[in-house]
Amino acid sequence: MNYRLPINTIKEQIEAKLQHNFGLTLENATDDQCYKAVVLVVRDLMVKGYLEFKKRAEETHTKRVYYLCMEFLMGRSLKNNLYNLGIEEDFRKALSEMGLKLDNLYEKEPDAGLGNGGLGRLAACFLDGLSTQGYPAMGYSLCYEYGIFRQKLVDGWQTELPDFWLPGGKVWLQEVPEKRVEVHFGGHIEEYWNNQYHIVNHKDYEKVMAVPYDMYVSGMDGRGINVLRIWSARGEAFDMSRFNSGDYLRAMEQNAMAEVITKVLYPEDNHLEGKSLRLSQQYFLVSATIQDIIRRHLFKYSTLDNLPDCVAIHLNDTHPVLAIPEMMRVMLDECGYTWEAAWDIVTRTTAYTNHTVMAEALECWNEELFKFRLPRIYQIVQEINRRFCESMHQRHVDGYKVGRMAPLNDGYVKMANLAVISSHSVNGVSALHSDILKETVFNDFYTEMPEKFQNVTNGIAHRRWLNQSNPELASLLTEKIGDGYIHDAAQLEKFLEFKDDASVLEQLGKIKRNNKIRLAEYIKKANNIVLDPDSIFDIQIKRMHEYKRQHLNALHILTLYQWLRDNPNADFTPHTYIFGAKAAAGYYFAKQMIRFIVNLAETINNDPRVNQKLKVVYVEDYRVTLAELLTPAADISEQISQAGTEASGTSNMKFMINGAVTLGTLDGANVEIHEAVGDDNIILFGMTTPEVSALKRSGYRPCVFYENNPIIRNAIDEMNKGFCGVSFRNITDSLLNEDPYMVLADFESYSQAQKRAEALYNDHARWNQMGLVNIAKAGRFAADRAIREYADNIWHATPVPPAPAADKTVKATVKKPIFKKMR
Q: Which of 650, 662, 689, 732 is catalytic?
A: 650
Buried-exposed string 626-657: b where 16+ CB fall within 10 A, e elsewhere = bbbbbbbbbbbbbbbbbbbbbbbbbbbbbbbb
Among residues 451, 423, 428, the alpha carbon closest in space to that of 440 is found at 428
Residues 586 and 277: their CA atoms lie apart, in Å, by 14
Q: Which of 76, 121, 512, 548 is catalytic?
A: 548
Buried-exposed string 340-378: b where 16+ CB fall within 10 A, e elsewhere = ebbbebbbebbbbbbbbbeeebbbbbebebbbebbbbbb
| Rg, the chain, Cα only | 27
Length in residues, the chain? 823
Among residues 351, 354, 460, 414, the alpha carbon closest in space to that of 127 is found at 460
Task: Tell me the pairing of strands 137-142 and 64-68.
Answer: parallel
Residues 763 and 754: their CA atoms lie apart, in Å, by 15
Return the DSSP state at 535: S
Q: Which of 314, 414, 543, 551 is catalytic?
A: 543
Residues 761 and 757: their CA atoms lie apart, in Å, by 6
- For the chain, how far is it from start to end, CA to CA, in angstroms? 39
Q: Is 36 assigned a catalytic role?
A: no
Residues 120 and 650: their CA atoms lie apart, in Å, by 11
Q: Do 264 and 146 meet the contact criterion of CB atoms below 8 Å apart? A: yes
**By three-state DSSP, how is residue 424 classified?**
coil
Residues 46 and 54: their CA atoms lie apart, in Å, by 12
Ramachandran area for residue 104 (φ above 0: left; ψ -120 to 50: alpha; else beta): alpha
In Å, what is the CA distance from 194 to each residue of 191, 200, 819, 821, 822? 10, 11, 16, 14, 16
554 CB-near residues (< 8 Å, 6+ apart): 593, 596, 597, 600
Q: Is 355 assigned a catalytic role?
A: yes
401 CB-near residues (< 8 Å, 6+ apart): 392, 444
Q: Is 548 assigned a catalytic role?
A: yes
Residues 581 and 619: their CA atoms lie apart, in Å, by 8
Numbers of helices and strands, H then E, in the chain = 34, 23
Residues 746 and 552: their CA atoms lie apart, in Å, by 9
Q: Which of 11, 551, 615, 654 is catalytic?
A: 654
Q: Which of 329, 512, 542, 780 is catalytic?
A: 542
Among residues 320, 432, 360, the alpha carbon closest in space to that of 590 is found at 360
Ramachandran area for residue 138 (φ above 0: left; ψ -120 to 50: alpha; else beta): beta
CA 324, chain centre distance (Å): 22
Residues 607 and 545: their CA atoms lie apart, in Å, by 28
DSSP line for 257-320: HHHGGGTSSS---SSHHHHHHHHHHHHHHHHHHHHHHHHHHHHHHS-STTHHHHEEEEEESSTT
Q: Which of 17, 43, 150, 355 is catalytic?
A: 355
Residue 320: CB atoms within 10 Å: 28
CA 87, chain centre distance (Å): 27
Among residues 616, 496, 611, the alpha carbon closest in space to that of 553 is found at 616
- Residues designated as active site: 355, 542-543, 548, 650, 654
